[in-house]
Amino acid sequence: ADISTTLAGVKLPNLLFNASGVCCQTEADLKLMVESESGALITKSATVEQRDGNPAPRYTPLPNGIGSINSMGLPNEGYEYYLEYAKKYDYNSEKPLFISLSGLSLDDNVKMCKAFVDAKLPCVLEINYSCPNVPGKPQMGYDMEAMEKSLSVLAPLIKKPFGIKLPPYFDIAHFDQAAAVFNKFDNLAFVTCINSVGNGLAIDFVTEQALIKPKDGFGGLGGLMVLNTALANVNAFHRRLPGKQIVGVGGVVSGKEAFLHVLAGASAVQIGTMLKEEGPGVFARIAKELSDIMVAKGYKTLEDFRGKVKTL
Ligand code: RRO
């Protein structure tokens, strides 16, 4: 089956790529992404200055394949590193490059966006409004006024189509409020739902210890346990953002969950925890599984079923 897609006006040979943060901090990581069968790649969220992030252990999978917890703390090489990578990237390859930016202030996001805009590159920006793990920095996605102010500065500056990475929302009123803000910005082309479910706590039953060190063990939850929250956010925004696209992320462990994300309304699907656990071979596996599902169901393209979840 044909699992190609278009996102922010850019063609992807298949809809799958990495969730920002996984396999994308260094050039060595990004090389693995380029060599994989992903349909695109996105870099680790960048700040103005390089960051080491939080103390280890700061990521661990959870038992029985339910998912993962992380409090990485935004470790990254600094935006100039990713800008140099983007300048050297081979845009003749069929795999588009996305760049994640996560400034610690609006001024920082302005500075980084300007640098990418001035470089006039064909890469696409995804602004991260949802890192849950920097002590003292709340997730901007939960502050509608701050998000509107940020978008009102960044959208005109970026000019071309761009995306934002959102935290999960859990209340219909919040879907409505967030969508009303996003609909004010025409070149906001896609929203990526969801970042990790913030500030969970994982405890080892035997040792009675928290599983990660930062923030007394609190960290963002990902993987299968967040699938249904992710599907709800994808579908809620698919319904509320006509003319915009949704990138689905959360709980994709096989072709089946990728299929469900598209049914909920996703135009592309990112993989985080399962990429971390399985490695870049995950893209070939899930692409094949999704294609097989589509053949079995008689769907030829993603458009045949995107957003077509049936309600009762
Ligand atoms: O680096 C992190 O701790 C991190 C980030 Br920036 C994010 O957006 N989401 C996440 O789960 N971890």
CATH number, residue 15: 3.20.20.70
H-run or E-run covering 59: strand 59-62
How far is residue 77 from each of residues 30, 39, 45, 84, measured CA to CA in Å? 13, 24, 9, 11
Q: For residue 248, what are the β-bridge partners?
A: 193, 269
Mutate to test the pocket of ligand 1, among 82, 109, 196 (most ligand atoms within 8 A of CB): 196
Q: From CA 105, how far away is CA 82, in angstroms rounded? A: 19
196 CB near ligand 1 (under 6 Å): yes
In a domain, 205, yes or no: no
**Helix 255-264 × helix 227-240 angle, to 10°:** 30
Q: From CA 43, how far away is CA 30, in angstroms rounded? A: 7
In a domain, 114, yes or no: yes
Q: From CA 80, how far away is CA 103, in angstroms rounded? A: 13
In a domain, 71, yes or no: no
> According to DSSP H, which parts of 162-304 are helical?
172-182, 227-240, 255-264, 273-278, 282-297
In a domain, 246, yes or no: yes
Domain count, the chain: 1
74 CB near ligand 1 (under 6 Å): yes
In a domain, 259, yes or no: yes
In a domain, 164, yes or no: yes
Mutate to test the pocket of ligand 1, among 68, 131, 215 (most ligand atoms within 8 A of CB): 131
How far is ligand 1, taken at its centre, from the CA of residue 293, in Å?
32
In a domain, 309, yes or no: no
Q: Give the residue numbers spanning the domain of 133.
A: 5-50+76-196+225-304
Q: Are 41 and 33 in contact (CB under 8 A)?
A: yes
The pLDDT assigned to 195 comes to: 98
- Helix (H/G/I), strand (E/B), else coil: 132: coil
Report the first-to-last Cα separation within the chain, whole angstroms: 28
Q: From CA 213, how far away is CA 220, in angstroms rounded? A: 13
ipTM topping 0.90: yes
Ranges of residues in the chain with a pLDDT under 70 are: none
Closest C-alpha to ligand 1, atom 1:
74
The pLDDT assigned to 47 comes to: 98
The pLDDT assigned to 215 comes to: 97
- Set 23, 24, 131, 193: catalytic member: 131
Query: Closest ligand 1 atom, CA of 54?
Result: 3
Q: From CA 237, how far away is CA 218, in angstroms rounded? A: 28
The pLDDT assigned to 60 comes to: 98
Q: Are 179 and 173 in contact (CB under 8 A)?
A: no
In a domain, 95, yes or no: yes
